[in-house]
Structure 1
Amino acid sequence: EEKSTRSNNIVCDNGSGYLKIGYSGDSFPLFTLQAIVGRPLLRSGEKIDGGELKDIMVCDETTDYRSLLELSYPLKEGIVNNWDDMELVWDYAFQKKLKLGSLSDKNVLLTEAACNPKKNRIKMAEVMFEKFGYAGIKFAVQALLSLFCEGLNTGLVMDSGDGVSHTIPVSDGYVLGDYVKRLNVAGSHVTAYLGKLLQVSGYAFNSTSDYELIRHMKENACYVSYDINRDRKLARDTCVVNMEYKLPDKKKVIIGRERFEAPECLFNPMLVDIEKPGIPEMIFDTIIASPLDSRAELYSNIVLSGG
């Protein structure tokens, strides 16, 4: 695209954990930001190690001060639950990061989860037009965009983000909405379950800042086991799966079987007290429920997305 056109078309991918933002036509987002807002537990304005706590800290402003902040996540399970904080996150992305200035001549593509409630979409449009002043807005289902990126018009997208997982069948570029399945187990549940497993092992993690620490631990140490019984035997009989993780205070945590046990809640949601089928059953059930003439292509084109 021409530079002027490129700079007028913004892409904003809204996730429960991360917000990704950049320009239409680029292969990758310019910024990936944690969708997070922090407010100080101490008095604002207090200087800490050369920095300063502000009344409100947004996205990567919170990184160095998380132990001193009460953290909130304005978007949960794909739906905005705190509009004031969500506006702070968007404003930070548009103005502090992209430095867009006036938005009256710009358009924005907003991604949304499958089956996003209509009232959520209407409110989002209202905020973009009235608060930020965009000239135009388009909504697109995240899973559909993921499929298009693979050069496919028909397929099944397994989309698992931070707050919610969906199986979304797509035929000839259209989401088959009647057959979409949703599971309220995703990345944040893996993080919470990892924290629970670590507590059982004798480590104490409690505050919201500890949650961010556990998330980092998950992203660097956890993996999905190909053979859970084999890995459990290895963890029981050897130290092969053990990994040393350094905490910010220089203490060390040894993570063993927790590395592969935590992600198991995606396949067995009962581990986090949710009585729903896991991801493999969701994929199968979605395809079986879909129109007969599209099933073969759905089986052939399964795309994993999220993050």
Structure 2
Amino acid sequence: MDMTDTAIDSAVRGYLDHLSVERGLAPNTLASYRRDLRRYGDFLRRRELREPREIGEEHVAAFVRSLREGDGERAGLVASSAARAVVAVRGFHRFLLREGLTETDAAVTVRPPTPPRRLPKAIPLADVERLLGAASTGDGPRALRDRALLELLYGSGARISEAVGLDCDDLDPETGTVLLRGKGGKDRIVPLGSYAREAVDAYLIRARPALVATGRGGPALFLNARGGRLSRQSAWSVLRAAAGRAGLSTTVTPHTLRHSFATHLIEGGADVRVVQELLGHASVTTTQVYTLVTVDQLREVYVAAHPRARSSTPS
């Protein structure tokens, strides 16, 4: 197979540059686009297509089918991953048309597969408290850091990338808030509860100075053992270790704490639009899925408690 660079490859690089510079996509999102478009480029190359103008609707449609079914070179993807790849391809073809590299949009009629709607996986408050209680074992710098990290994740609903990206100056002790830098460069200010504030204060006073001393210093809030910024992977490890010590039977991820943050707010009576702002969702529709969790729980209580919720079984 000819692995030389093609005009399509060059156009893909131009589109990725556009997403990075002009659209300001987050690094993780940009990496997903790069992977999906590399798969698309490989698909087109195997069909000996080299120029953007050679790509027709039939090629895009065949690629979309291959995403779910596989194509002999790669296995098929789950619906959510296939949908993400289709979004990348549609954006790429809009870019080709806008830049004058094609005369038509070959992907204009393509629709991504609809992923199954999944309710967020939250854990009960009692499990959250067990998890946070198991976050730190002792008063060493790393133990205090781990407790502060997990308290902040649950106390603010932050994404893991937002938490490890925090600098000390993003905390406002006067107002008890934290500045989170969300997807697409969208910042938001979120209040921290007393437990999270106390854990973060303990870390800043009793632990962070010791961690700073092992490195070159810097603005990062959460530091690793070498004094550098804590990575997403290390933060995941902190959470897994705490979940193991807490003996939780369910799989717990950083997003589990984010989902639990939102679900517990909704259950406590918070308005869905307030939760939308706290989570940094662009659309309230995304946030409304948390109300479905509460409705399901209400339905279970209703069926169990109401005398005429279920028909009686004839004797």
Instruction: Indicate the structure with greater strand content.
Output: 1
Q: Which has the larger radius of gyration?
A: 2
For Structure 1 versus Structure 2, the TM-score category normalised by the shorter chain is: under 0.3
* TM-score computed with the length of structure 1 as normaliser: 0.27
